[in-house]
Amino acid sequence: MVSADFGGPIYPTFGRLVRVQTALWRAADAQLRHRHDIALADVTALQVVSETGGMRVQDLAATLHITVGGASKVIDRLVASDLVQRTPHPTDRRSSVVKATAAGRKLLQMTSAAVEDVLTERLEGVLGTEGVARLDNLLLTLEGAIEYSSEGTLP
């Protein structure tokens, strides 16, 4: 079944998605910079690294949908702040395995609470837990579909 266009233009919905995400990001980012002097982008990377317990640079890039070079630089910043460390890959000397340090995990606990506060207010406070659950279901569906369709777009 090929997608038909019964629902009217979809650009406005996408515009809303972008604006909502931007506004939420900015709110959380401002809160983190203010309270913990760190950017949300860095905390997000730290979060991913921490919860996987160790990953390669390109795995971080794939998870965040950023480039490998960008991921390398994010890690540079986190290493400089002693929040993660590069450890040698056990079988492949081209790779490093990036792991959260104790300081990184500690900072993550505090920053996660700050982010949770902002998001709970602005997402759950507006949509309610039921609305958040509906949103999450839709996003899960999209996320699953996006993973494989992100390849092979351009010739």
Partner DNA sequence: GAAGATTGATTCGTCAATCTTC
Partner DNA sequence: GAAGATTGACGAATCAATCTTC
The residues binding DNA (CB under 7 A) are 39, 41, 56-59, 65-77, 86, 89, 92-96
Question: Which residues, 6+ apart, have CB-to-CB distance to 136 below 8 Å?
Answer: none
By beta-carbon proximity to DNA, the closer residue of 64 and 132 is: 64
What distance, in Å, lies between the first and last C-alpha atoms of the chain? Answer: 24
Q: Is 79 in the site for a second copy (CB under 8 A)?
A: no
Nearest to 40 by CA among 27, 29, 31: 29
- Encoded tokens for 10: 């979809």
Question: Which residues, 6+ apart, have CB-to-CB distance to 25 below 8 Å?
Answer: 40
Residue of 53, 142, 148, 152 that binds a second copy (CB under 8 A):
142
We find the least distance from the C-beta atom of residue 19 to DNA, in angstroms, to be: 12
By beta-carbon proximity to DNA, the closer residue of 65 and 106 is: 65
Q: Which does 78 bind (CB under 5 to 8 A by kind): DNA, a second copy, none?
A: none
